[in-house]
Amino acid sequence: MKNTLLAYFTDFISINTQSDENSDSYPSTEAQELFAEVIAGKLSVMGMENVSVDRWSYVTAELPANTDEELPVIGLISHMDTSPDYSGMGIHPNIIADYNGSDIVLKDSIIISPNEFPILKNYIGKTVITADGTTLLGGDDKAGMAEIFTAMDYLIKHPEIKHGKIKVAFTPDEEIGAGVDHFDTEKFGCDFAYTIDGGDEGEINYECFNAARAKISIRGKSVHPGSAKGSMINAALLAMELNSLLPDEKPANTEGYEGFFHLTAIKGDVSRADLEYIIRDHDREKFEQRKKIVKDAADCINEKYGSCVEAEIYDEYFNMAEIIMQHKHVLDRAVKAAEKAGVTVDIRPIRGGTDGARLSYMGLPCPNLFTGGHNFHGPYEFVVLESMVKAVETILNIVTV
Contact between residue 369 and residue 391 where contact means Cβ atoms under 8 Å apart: yes
Provide the annotated active-site residues: 81, 174
| 247 CB neighbour count, 10 Å cutoff | 10
One-character DSSP codes across 265-310: EEEE-SSEEEEEEEEEESSHHHHHHHHHHHHHHHHHHHHHH-S-EE
Distance CA 364, CA 279 (A): 25
The number of angstroms, rounded, from the C-alpha of 123 to the middle of its chain's C-alpha atoms is 24
Contact between residue 171 and residue 80 where contact means Cβ atoms under 8 Å apart: yes
Amino acid occupying residue 259: G
Count of H-run helices and E-run strands, the chain: 10, 18
Beta-carbon contacts of residue 83 (< 8 Å; ≥ 6 apart):
18, 19, 136, 140, 175, 376, 377
| 160 CB neighbour count, 10 Å cutoff | 6
